[in-house]
Amino acid sequence: MAIPFERVINPQSIAIIGASEDMGKFGGRIIGYLTMHRYKGKIYPINPKRDTIRGLPCYRSVLETPEPPDVVVMAIPPAAVVETIKESAKRGAGCAIIITTGFAEMSEHGKQLQEEMLRIAQSAGMRIWGPNCMGMINPVDGVALSSTYSQEIEALIPGSIGMVSQSGGLFAAMYNRANDEKIGLRAVCSTGNEADINTSEIMEFFLEEEKTRVMAAYTEGFRNPQRFRKVAENALALGKPIVTFKVGASEQGKRAALSHTASMAGSDQSFNDLCRQFGIIRVHELETILPTANLFARYGISSGSRLAVIGASGGHAGIIPDRAEVFGLTLSKLSSSTREFLHSVVGATQSVNPADLAIVDMDVYRRCVESIGGDPEVDAILYSFGTVPQWDKKMGYLIEYGKSARVPVFFYTLVGSKAGRIPDLAREAGIPFFWDLDRCLKAIRDWMWYGELRRKRMKEKSCLPKAYQPAIPENMALPPKTQLNEMEAKEILVRLGIRTPLCREVRSADEAKKAASEIGYPVVLKGVSSELAHKTDIGAVKLDLRDGGEVGRAYEEIMEAMKKSSSHPHVEGILVEHMVTGGMEVILGARRDPQFGAQILVGPGGIFAEILDRKATRFTPISPDNAREMIEESQLGRLLSGKRTGRPLDADALVEAILRLSAFMEGLGKRVQELDVNPVMVLPKGEGVFALDALMILSGA
């Protein structure tokens, strides 16, 4: 049986392969830091050449330890790892943390070694952490199980941030930065190649245990993207935010990630979609991961998004509103009583948010700060300070006030060495401190964004999960093809409950004329072929045909165009279709992301497609609120509202079509790789929507 994960994060016994008293060696530093930080469990140094190390008895191999260790840690040559894994598995060790490099990240031979050691471990129920990692530090339980020099500090600082890093170097650097900035950590884990234990599994542990309030991650890819998606969904439901920096936004970044830890970076746009939908806070500067996570660790989830700024500089009073607007932050207007009081102090023409409080009288200064802090229109306060009169008194007061203020408070300064002890005193009081204004405002923005998004998502969850899902026919089957022609794709849409115009498939000009007469003019003619994705590009679409002569000529022209096409599509027929007008064209589609699953897309079509170039995507399943959110995000909301034309269009019917596609992709659409419904015609309110064209690409049966 596999060891409980709690015993991996907080092992009661540790065997160190290659233990040494030399702090210049990996094995020397690991045992050195464990003893330096007073690890309370049992340590078993493994070194056949020594009798004792740091006063502890040494063992020739892990097979000789008094008990099976919870964790075996090894930083030994790659060639020796497999044999040591065999011995550890035979002894019944719970987990092997492998710091050694030279495995799947390096070569095919290294990949084979990694697979062999994993096979040996799994057959014995032993877990593998790494290889190519820097281990783990657990300040809450006093476990310094890493070789990084970042542990050469007075004491580990416990906290409630659970951090994971696929990069060992960044793991060490960020841990050092956390200590410098007095940011406490629940645990920080370097995962390396993730042969077995991976980022998602560690985050699942952080989700389930009470000591973690927020998670932070540096990641280069996901071994099991669906598992990570589930972590994100559960984290949002539980209110444990995830702050992440992910590489792979560029092709160069993806290649670097692959060569570094043998990870797959995946689609960056899909990851952005996942973040937006499930409340993952994606930062784009490494320096902001921990400071942003620290806001949640200190203050929990924000209750609102109205920010008050207190400073003592006219310059900052001008700069901060500009930068706040860039990052989408809302400065509070303050209540009328607060504004009146502040104006009576600083003058009727002065700004009161930001409040430029260059006031000497400390009693008046306190009253100003407390009036802002007590204002019901304020959700958080940013102190922006400079070298002002009575510096020590004011800063001391602000720090004391911040400890018990009604709302969260933050410190920012541009001052350098003259700031003296203020940054440390603020951090020791638990008040987040920033040297950089933009990073400060972005962290506050992300903290507030998460609170707003979670409140919205929890409101959506108040419905039963399946209450909004349209029913899909149980006996519905997809053809054993990889690409469906328009008629075949539309037949599926009709069965889903999405209307299509009246149409006929014909194979001669006479049949086309007869069909047009029966359908009713005007009509559209289109070439039909499973091999033809873009009919308009080769002239295989003719619009607004109003009599038999036009229909006959259009038929011949389409047939000729398809025969001359360089793609040489197999002509399966010609489609005669009633021409639907009087609405607005919209793009609607679905695709299956290879990492995170099915997505629905919606955006303006027709003439608005290139002008607005706005599309919204969400992962399925989609709720009505999700669908309406997509419509607003893609700017369709104002186009469908009819405010400019006086004729509102049927947004409710478009929402229903989105939900039907979502249900299809969740239920019977596992083979569907792409479904392009373009355009969809949204008619006036109450008249519904029509799918005017469709393309469906399937995986093999």
- Whose tokens are 């060569």? That residue is 259
Q: What pLDDT score does 607 carry?
A: 62
* pLDDT (0 to 100) of residue 146: 95
CB 182 within 8 A of CB 428: yes
Q: Which residues pair with 602 in a beta bridge?
A: 588, 616
The CA distances from residue 589 to 100, 267, 601, 618, 676, in Å, are 47, 18, 5, 11, 5
Residue 284 φ/ψ region, left for φ over 0, alpha for ψ in the -120 to 50 degree band, beta for the rest? alpha
Backbone angles phi, psi at 278, to 5 degrees: -110, 15
The reported pLDDT for the residue numbered 610 is: 61
Could you tell me which residues come within 8 angstroms of residue 401 by beta carbon, excluding any fewer than 6 positions away? 366, 369, 370, 373, 409
* CATH number for the domain whose boundaries are 1-133: 3.40.50.720
pLDDT confidence band for 262 (50 / 70 / 90): very low
State the Cα torsion 201-202-206-212 to the nearest 10°. Answer: -160
Peptide bond into 131 cis (omega under 30): yes
Q: Is the pLDDT of residue 438 over 50?
A: yes
Give pLDDT, residue 255. Answer: 45
What single DSSP character describes residue 440? H
Extract the tokens encoding 123.
Answer: 């057959």
d(CA 645, CA 193): 58
CA dist 388 → 111, 312, 367, 391 (Å) = 61, 7, 18, 5
Question: For the residues of 626-646, what is the DSSP string, one character each?
Answer: HHHHHHHHTTHHHHHS-TTTS
At residue 681, what is the residue type? Answer: M
pLDDT above 70 covers a percentage of the chain that reads: 94
Residue 28's contacts (CB-CB under 8 Å, 6 or more residues apart) are: 19, 20, 21, 22
Residue pLDDT, tens place only, 212-237: 999 999 998 888 999 999 999 999 99
In angstroms, the CA 629 to CA 608 distance is 19
What's the pLDDT tens digit per position in 447-480?
999 999 999 888 876 554 444 567 777 667 788 8
Distance CA 171, CA 357 (A): 41
Judge residue 514's burial from the number of C-beta atoms within 10 Å of its C-beta, 0-12 exposed, 13-18 middle, 19 or more buried. Answer: middle
Determine which of 16-25, 156-165, 208-217, 469-478 has the lowest per-residue pLDDT on average: 469-478
The predicted pLDDT at position 478 comes to: 84
- Examine residue 679 and say whether the peptide bond preceding it is cis (omega within 30 degrees of 0): yes
Asked if 351 contacts 317 with a C-beta cutoff of 8 angstroms, the reply is yes
Instruction: Classify residue 605 by burial, with Cβ atoms within 10 Å: 0-12, 13-18, 19+.
Output: buried
As to burial, measured by CB atoms within 10 angstroms (0-12 exposed, 13-18 middle, 19+ buried), residue 131 is buried
Using an 8 Å Cβ cutoff, are 483 and 415 in contact?
no
Q: Which of 484, 488, 498 is nearest to 698 (CA)?
A: 484
- What are the pLDDT digits (tens) for 607-649? 666 666 788 999 999 988 889 999 999 999 988 998 877 789 9
Characterize the bridge pairing of strands 185-190 and 136-138: antiparallel
The C-alpha atoms of residue 413 and residue 435 are separated, in whole angstroms, by 6
Looking at CATH, the fold of the domain delimited by 584-698 is given as D-amino Acid Aminotransferase; Chain A, domain 1 (3.30.470)
Q: What is the pLDDT at residue 567?
A: 73
Evaluate if residue 261 carries a pLDDT over 60.
Answer: no
DSSP state, residue 10: S
With 0-12 / 13-18 / 19 or more C-beta atoms within 10 angstroms meaning exposed / middle / buried, residue 360 is exposed
Architecture label for domain 157-284: 3-Layer(aba) Sandwich (3.40)
Residue 138, both tokens? 């657990």
Within this chain, domains 301-460 and 502-578 share the same CATH topology: no
**What is the predicted pLDDT for the residue at 163?**
98
209: left (phi over 0), alpha (psi -120 to 50) or beta: beta
Query: What are the beta bridge partners of residue 574?
Result: 506, 527
Question: What pLDDT, on the 0 to 100 scale, is given for residue 253?
Answer: 44
Residue 164: closest CA among 131, 204, 126: 204
Alpha helices (H) in 279-328, listed in sequence order:
289-299, 314-326
Question: Which among 89, 132, 91 has a CA at the least distance from the CA of 110?
Answer: 132
Average predicted confidence (pLDDT) for the chain = 91
What is the average pLDDT across 201-218? 97
The average pLDDT across 137-150 equals: 96
Decide: 641 and 648 in contact? Cβ < 8 Å: yes
Least confident of 543-552, 611-620, 656-665, 670-679: 611-620
Domain range list for the chain: 1-133, 157-284, 301-460, 502-578, 584-698
DSSP state of 682: E
Top-tier CATH class for 301-460: alpha beta
Q: Report the CATH fold assignment for 502-578.
A: Dna Ligase; domain 1 (3.30.1490)
Q: How many Cβ atoms are within 10 Å of 488's Cβ, its own excluded?
A: 18
pLDDT for 491 equals 92
Q: How far is CA 244 from CA 8, 162, 170, 271, in A?
A: 23, 12, 13, 11
The yes-or-no verdict on residue 251 having pLDDT over 60 is: no
- Using the predicted structure, report yes or no on whether residue 106 has a pLDDT greater than 70: yes
Mean pLDDT of the region 106-134 = 95
Nearest CA to 649 out of 586, 691, 589 is that of 586
Q: Closest by alpha carbon to 689, among 645, 659, 654, 639?
A: 654
pLDDT at 609: 64
pLDDT at residue number 269: 86
